[in-house]
Amino acid sequence: MRNKVTVIGAGMVGGTLAQRIVEKGYADVVLVDIIEGLPQSKSLDMLQCGPIVDSDARIIGTNTYEETANSDIVVITSGVPRKPGMSRDDLVLTNMNIVKPVTEQVVKYSPNCIIIMVTNPLDAMTQLALKVSQFPRNRVFGQSGILDSARFGTFLAQELNVSVKDVYACVLGGHGDTMVPIPRLTTVGGIPITELLSKETIDRIVDRTIKGGGEIVTLLKTGSAYYAPAAATEQMVEAILFDKKEILPCATYLDGEYGIKGTVVGVPVKLGRNGIEQIIELKLTPEEGAALKKSAEAVMELVKIMKLE
């Protein structure tokens, strides 16, 4: 039996993610949206790629949750993307009112699933889903660090004219203006970039990484990035379903690790069939640790707006 992955939200990120999974063929997909006909039409279109891309995976689209029952993984992308001039944080109340009822339905039909949050503001929405689902933290976490690290890695590979495969990019913290790229632990061919690039160049690339999502929003005007966010989420889905034990940066609830307690923030974790199987604690300098704590505080402020208690 193939694995079952539900994707909530059949918009740009959800649709692209569903396509990636179906075309790889390792899981059946249920695509859910509130817009009638949208998930159904996209699913039928994707299904008809099967003979061309050689995939027998099934995909169905629906506006209700019955078909999602007993999913192994549920990815939540439902929500409003930001428009030019907006920060991810501006979306908090709007998307809270979408993510909360969605999570309740997800839990009702798939009580043993793993939830991957994609809706922004990412860290706050992950914390909301954790609270609403009452699942343990290894089964509710968010996609952001892979995307932020991929952006950092792309710019570094361009700068140094090397393969992206040779770059290990380390980005911690919340998915927003307070994210914490760590140049000291970012390497190219095993060499820290602090030995390869000037401070000015690193600062410029770090700044572009932090504003990476905004750069795309400004160009696109009608919404936010979706190709790389979908690819990043697919990497997480694959790490879980194939029990890869891959070390990936994910938004996870910290309970004292890194000196942070009670907040979701991005750190490296080991992803396998049980979701987060280990939280990796990097040794940070006092400055890096302080930046991570500042980022966690920014998430906490947003969480307060939702009045979760």
Task: Give the active site residues.
Answer: 175
Closest C-alpha to 234, from 119, 134, 122, 118? 118
126 binds ligand APR (CB under 6 A): no
- CB 109, min distance to ligand APR, A: 14
Q: How far is the C-alpha of 160 from the C-alpha of 172, rounded, in Å? A: 22
Q: Out of 142, 229, 249, 266, which residue is the one contacting ligand APR (CB under 6 A)? A: 229
Name every residue whose Cβ is closer than 8 Å to that of residue 305 and which is 6 or more positions away in sequence: 92, 93, 124
Q: What is the DSSP letter of 196?
A: T
**Closer of 74 and 118 to ligand APR (Cβ):** 118
302 binds ligand APR (CB under 6 A): no
210 binds ligand APR (CB under 6 A): no
**Closer of 202 and 237 to ligand APR (Cβ):** 237
Q: How far is the C-alpha of 295 from the C-alpha of 183, rounded, in Å? A: 17
Q: Out of 106, 118, 197, 302, which residue is the one contacting ligand APR (CB under 6 A)? A: 118
- CB 165, min distance to ligand APR, A: 25
DSSP string, 238-305: HHHHTT--EEEEEEEEEESGGG-EEEEEEEEEEEETTEEEEE------HHHHHHHHHHHHHHHHHHHH
Read off the tokens for 157: 């590979």
73-92 residues in contact with ligand APR (CB under 6 A) are: 77-79, 81-82
Q: Out of 28, 33, 89, 123, which residue is the one contacting ligand APR (CB under 6 A)? A: 33
Chain position carrying tokens 């890695």 = 153
13 binds ligand APR (CB under 6 A): yes
267 binds ligand APR (CB under 6 A): no
Q: Quick one: which segment of 8-16, 66-74, 261-269, 271-279 binds ligand APR (CB under 6 A)?
A: 8-16
Name every residue whose Cβ is closer than 8 Å to that of residue 213 and which is 6 or more positions away in sequence: 88, 224, 225
Q: Out of 19, 68, 110, 120, which residue is the one contacting ligand APR (CB under 6 A)? A: 120
**CB-based burial label for 198 (10 Å; 0-12, 13-18, 19+):** exposed
226 binds ligand APR (CB under 6 A): yes
Binding residues with ligand APR: total (CB under 6 A)? 27
**Parallel, antiparallel, or unpaired for β 187-188 and 167-168?**
antiparallel
Judged by the rule CB under 6 A, the positions of this chain that interact with ligand APR are 8-14, 32-35, 38, 77-79, 81-82, 95, 98, 102, 118-120, 223-224, 226, 229
